[in-house]
Structure 1
Amino acid sequence: MEGFIADHKSSLLFSLILFILIVSLKIIFTSIVRKVGKLGDFNPVRTNLIIKYINIVLTIISIITLTFIWGVNYRDLGVLLSSVFAVIGVALFAQWSILSNITAGVIIFFSFPFKIGNTIRILDKDILDSDNPERDVFVIEDIKAFHLHLRSSKGEIITYPNNMVLQKGVVIISTYKDDEIDADKENI
């Protein structure tokens, strides 16, 4: 055991530094996302989903860095990784819409102006009803990783893909806080 430690002293030291750095980054990013979620009044489930994505990315980065630190034989690793990436590439190409919906979910979390409880109209000819404009209004029930849950004026729940929300125009009719203010005015 002493011989192993003596032979790999620098690799062990760099691995320890990497471990401390990754744990520190996870703590920092988690606190930043939680603050953004709290300031933006986001659903805690969405906040935890973004934290999970960040942890996955940091774990992948740490695994790649560890292979460099420990000097893994890249010829053997190259064959293995090329085979794995070929299979993953085919699977991801077949499922590109899933990835685009996840990415759109992250973008919606950080930069989009609507939240759960907002009343919106999506300017999409597939869901617009020209005979009944009231039917075009939806309340956002939930924002998931892949889609939005929208409640129509008739009470129907519609799932709408996140990537389509970024591609189509969205009109915010009222926000959740606007509804609370209107309710307070009615109670006065």
Structure 2
Amino acid sequence: MEIYEIQIIETIIVIVVFLILKLIAKRIIGKVGARFKYQSGRIKITNKIVVVLLVMLLTTILMLIWGVNQSELFMFLSSVLTILGVAFFAQWSIISNITSTLIIFFNHPIKIGDSLTIMDKEYPIEGRLSDIGIFFIIIKTKDNKKITIPSNVFMQKMVKKEDVD
């Protein structure tokens, strides 16, 4: 029974440390975001990414505390990564859209809330960038319709940022 008591105490300590790290990370991200005047959407997404990484770390530590065999854990993780790798290899568009979303989110001059025109010969689009999802960009037109464009297609188009007076 003593072994389980130690594992329970270690688990509680790890969870408390996780919650403290989550709170600290959220505050630091908020302060950095405010200092550099990042949009609230970017701050929220950055917080989510950090929390996901912390949860992965927490899960790994808890598995070690509770005695999950490291070779079995490694076999499970390598199997999952292999399946994901095959799935991503089969779907280059998924990787392309995820990569494009990251580029748009962190390094594109168009930000959420900006008015824009997509300079397409066949179907020009005017509106406001409403959201940047993992796979799609959502544009809200002047007549309140939502248009979704795959992120990789958005990256390939000429986009004109409209000045707001």
Q: TM-score under structure 1 normalisation?
A: 0.60
Aligned twin of 1:66: 62
Q: Distance in 2 between matches of 1:150 and 1:61?
A: 36
Q: Distance in 2 between matches of 1:60 and 1:24?
A: 16
2:88 partner letter: L
Q: Secondary structure at the match of 1:148?
A: strand
Q: Which runs of 5+ in 1 are unaligned?
A: 130-134, 183-188
Aligned twin of 2:52: 56
**Deviation of residue 37 (structure 1)?**
7.1
Contact 1:150 1:159 in 2 (8 A): yes
**Deviation of residue 49 (structure 1)?**
4.1
Alignment of 1:1-12 (within 5 A): 1-5=1-5, 8=6, 12=9
Q: Deviations over 1:76-120 (max 9, x none)?
A: 333333333332322333345335534544554444432334232
1:2 partner letter: E
Q: Distance in 1 between matches of 2:112 and 2:3?
A: 59
Q: Which runs of 5+ in 2 are unaligned?
A: none
Contact 1:37 1:47 in 2 (8 A): no
Alignment of 1:14-93 (within 5 A): 15-35=11-31, 36=33, 39-43=37-41, 47-69=43-65, 72-93=68-89
Q: Secondary structure at the match of 2:48?
A: helix
1:40 partner letter: Y
Q: Deviations over 1:108-147 (max 9, x none)?
A: 4444432334232446xxx334xxxxx7452224113122
Q: Say if 1:23 and 1:86 are closer, same or farther in 2 by CA, change over 3 A.
A: same
**Deviation of residue 59 (structure 1)?**
0.9
Contact 1:121 1:138 in 2 (8 A): yes
**Deviation of residue 34 (structure 1)?**
4.1
- Using CA pairs below 8 Å that are at least 6 residues apart, which structure has the higher relative contact order? 1
**Deviation of residue 41 (structure 1)?**
3.8
Contact 2:110 2:161 in 1 (8 A): yes
Alignment of 1:114-129 (within 5 A): 114-122=110-118, 127-129=120-122
Q: TM-score under structure 2 normalisation?
A: 0.66
**Deviation of residue 55 (structure 1)?**
1.7
Q: Secondary structure at the match of 1:61?
A: helix
Aligned twin of 1:143: 131
Q: Distance in 2 between matches of 1:102 and 1:37?
A: 26
